[in-house]
Amino acid sequence: MDMRPASSSSTLLLVLALLLPFCANAASNVYIVYMGEKKHDDPAMVTASHHDTLASILGSKDEALKSIVYSYKHGFSGFAAKLTNFQVEELKKHPGVISVKPNTYHEVHTTRSWDFLGLNYDQPSGLLHKANYGEDVIVSIVDTGIWPESRSFDDSGYGPVPKRWKVGVKVRGADFSTVCQAGDASFNATSCNRKIIGARWYAKDVNLTALSSREHMSPRDANGHGTHAASTAAGVPVRGASRGSLGAGVARGGVPRARLSVYKACWFDNRGVGSCSDAGVLKAMDDAVGDGVDVLSLSLGGLTESHGSLHLVARGVTVVFSAGNWGPVPGTVLNAYPWVISVAAGTMDRSFPTEISLGNGEKLVGQSAYHDDVPAVSSNDFHSLAYAASCDQKALAEVNVTGKVAVCFSPLEAAASPPSNAVITAIAGLYVAKAKGMIFAQYNANQMDTVQLV
């Protein structure tokens, strides 16, 4: 009897068994697949081409639909998908694919900012007045969302939404439409207005178990960073703004008459950090250009996927990145792409001095957001000092600070990172140790004098 067909079947089964781990059981992660310029003007056709590309690797359209996370179809062509290492290598061979990179995460980065820069609100001959305060410019913010009830986003006196804006849904029967994506009970279509004309959120690639319990499945901001960024860029004037009565003044944005569209691609995690993924940020940027924004602002760490911003600039969108909160030391500027505007953190022209009274009568002056006008009148108002070599938690743990005021020096290496990071780390340890307070002494962070610039 000829046994060759049975032998061939056995061989085929063996091959399928060997391939099975690559197809069914292999671990998958989110990757960014970049395909360059769009081949179609119709966004639906661009997305269909992404499904076809994935199906050619995964074996069926159904598997492609299960795998894809986001389709980038307005500013450029590409997609984010859950892929195994084997599938990634196969996709790299596809003729329409330019690059395949793993999805990575980045962290997000005063009432006087614009006056400090010379953009005086009340100066008739000033640049802000000549630019009509940014009237009807559409500014998009990719960040942690927004708190729409803030007075910075009051739409009193605003007319209809610019006609070039993408048609969305009617709000409260008004004569305007918005692109206002609802979510959980914290945010719905009526949360938008003539000032906030757009709000979207992106959670398909987010590890929900790692989020803070305060987070919202909607465009609402649980972190505060996005609301801060939006009000800094385009908030309407709010008089009498202060932080605990310190720094009172008029809080306003750089273009207070502009419209806002917010894209929540950054999430407040259980570490207390605003975290943003390449996949979500690219989808937000892609939707922004499709919605019709004029300016796109991102205040977050350096993206590994720079092509998204390049395609937006090519389509006439002004892209503004933060250059980071680090320095001043070499190599700390982020988002230094030649086609975007990178905005650095600057030195403030004011401070909040606080007097520190010692038991021997000496007084030292530092800075603090805490202030107490009640003077110390007895020895009971003073607390013992506890000295630590450094403000990191390891050094503080070696000193008994319970009921005392800790005195510590910031580590020298902290000069390359935001001072607030070291302060927050120290405070966390001191809170657990039940300390009464902290005097944080920082070394001079200006190391540029030792660098020879050619």
CATH number of the domain at 329, please: 3.40.50.200
Instruction: Report strand pairing: 78-83 vs 259-264.
Output: unpaired
Residue 304: pLDDT over 70:
no
Phi then psi dihedrals of residue 327, to 5 deg:
110, -170
Shared domain check, 189 and 98: no
Shared domain check, 372 and 225: no
Shared domain check, 149 and 96: no
- Of the chain, the percentage scoring pLDDT greater than 70 comes to 75
Domain assignment present for residue 397? The answer is yes
Range of the domain at 161: 106-343
How far, in Å, CA of 347 to CA of 387, rounded? 29
Strand runs labelled E in 176-245: 177-180, 196-201, 238-243
Shared domain check, 176 and 82: no
**Which H or E run includes 48?**
helix 43-58
Shared domain check, 161 and 76: no
Residue 379 confidence (pLDDT): 56
Residue 11 confidence (pLDDT): 40
Domain assignment present for residue 6? The answer is no
How distant, in Å, are the alpha carbons of 111, 161, 445 from that of 329? 27, 44, 8
Residue 258: pLDDT over 90:
yes
pTM: 0.76
Shared domain check, 254 and 358: no
Domain assignment present for residue 420? The answer is yes
pLDDT band (50, 70, 90) for residue 42: very high
Query: Please, are residues 277 and 204 in contact by the beta-carbon 8 Å criterion?
Result: no
Mean pLDDT of 122-150: 87
Domain count along the chain: 3
Residue-wise pLDDT for 328-367, tens only, equals 677 777 777 889 888 876 666 566 677 788 888 888 887 7
Domain assignment present for residue 348? The answer is no
Residue-wise pLDDT for 153-183, tens only, equals 999 999 999 988 876 555 444 444 568 888 8
How far, in Å, CA of 337 to CA of 306, rounded? 8
Shared domain check, 236 and 363: no
Residue 70 confidence (pLDDT): 97
Picking from 315, 343, 371, the residue at the C-terminal end of a domain is 343
How far, in Å, CA of 12 to CA of 6, rounded? 10
pLDDT band (50, 70, 90) for residue 448: very low
More confident residue, 441 or 294: 294
Shared domain check, 426 and 330: no
Mean pLDDT of the chain: 80
Residue 36 confidence (pLDDT): 95
Shared domain check, 116 and 203: yes
Shared domain check, 154 and 255: yes
Residue 369 confidence (pLDDT): 64
How distant, in Å, are the alpha carbons of 9, 79, 217 from that of 150? 69, 35, 19
pLDDT band (50, 70, 90) for residue 200: very high
DSSP 379: G
Residue 95: pLDDT over 50:
yes
Mean pLDDT of 296-321: 86
Residue 58 belongs to domain with CATH number: 3.30.70.80
pLDDT band (50, 70, 90) for residue 190: confident
Residue-wise pLDDT for 393-445, tens only, equals 777 788 888 889 888 877 655 454 555 566 777 777 788 788 888 888 765 55
